[in-house]
Homo-oligomer: A and B are copies of this chain.
């Protein structure tokens, strides 16, 4: 084909790219070409806009580091992350719902003993967390890994504070006891704008969209034989529960942060995992 034009190029690209050794790759690449081309045709993308797109993607890549994932942020604000989560979590009734992973998880969070304070000096009102990890029948799941991370009272994660270097605050990894429980101390999360100092911030600004997320604590719970659960607990009241910049709120994930007589708050929650085989 030496005269590919706007009419036959999609067919030509699919014929070229959709025939590798892995059927699933072929399926994904074929659909990607089809939908990308449909996008370019629908908006009749100009060459200057294409150039801007290349610069945008390049800037987004250059913003990514071990502590900042701008492509996840992009996927989040476009609703792609939550759509993917929603498509994959047709779980049994009673199971805890999943939500977006977000861009601020790190792999080297401190390993903590039960009851540890993960705040480590992060500013905020004290929070006492008591969580329980159970199966669909309510039986405790022992030795589950519970990875917790959150923003502080200024709405910042530790990785957003260059002055901390690699010091980790307001995040930690626990293991459940024989009763499926983890107790931790931390701080009360606050609502915050997602970082707007990069390409995604420029996109939200151009698109007239708010960067705010309602206050939440992230959890990733992994246990042998169970589907990994990536979710948040949101705090009510919060002005952004109905306008989360990343579409992550589920009613079932709004948890009680109870003010305590002596000051601070208590958060109790039971997470219900489904067997790996049913996920």
Contact = CB atoms under 8 A, between A and B. Distances in A.
Interface of A: 1-6, 9-10, 12-13, 16-22, 25-29, 31-47, 49-50, 54, 57-58, 60-62, 64, 69, 71-72, 75, 77-88, 203-210, 241-245, 247, 249-251, 254
Given A31-B43, A35-B36, 11 more contacts: A3-B249, A4-B79, A16-B210, A20-B205, A21-B208, A31-B39, A35-B39, A40-B80, A41-B87, A58-B69, A62-B62
Contact of A209 (B3, B17, B245): B17
A87 B40 contact: yes
A22 B52 CA distance: 15
Given A6-B87, A40-B84, A75 B50 contact: yes
B61 A1 contact: no
Given A10-B83, A57-B57, A87-B45, A3 B250 contact: yes
Contacts of A58: 61, 64, 69, 71
A258 to B, nearest CB: 21
B35 A35 contact: yes
Given A58-B61, A84-B50, A207 B25 contact: yes
Contact of A83 (B9, B49, B204, B243): B9
Contact of A20 (B38, B206, B245): B206
B82 A9 contact: yes
Copy number in this complex?
2
Given A83-B40, A85-B47, A78 B33 contact: yes
Given A37-B83, A81-B50, A43 B28 contact: yes
A208 B20 contact: yes
Given A242-B1, A242-B2, A32 B26 contact: no
A83 B2 contact: no
B19 A80 contact: no
A78 B17 contact: yes
22 contacts: A1-B247, A1-B249, A3-B251, A4-B79, A4-B249, A9-B83, A10-B79, A10-B83, A12-B247, A16-B207, A17-B207, A18-B207, A31-B39, A31-B42, A38-B38, A40-B83, A45-B84, A46-B88, A47-B88, A54-B71, A60-B61, A62-B64
Contacts of A204: 17
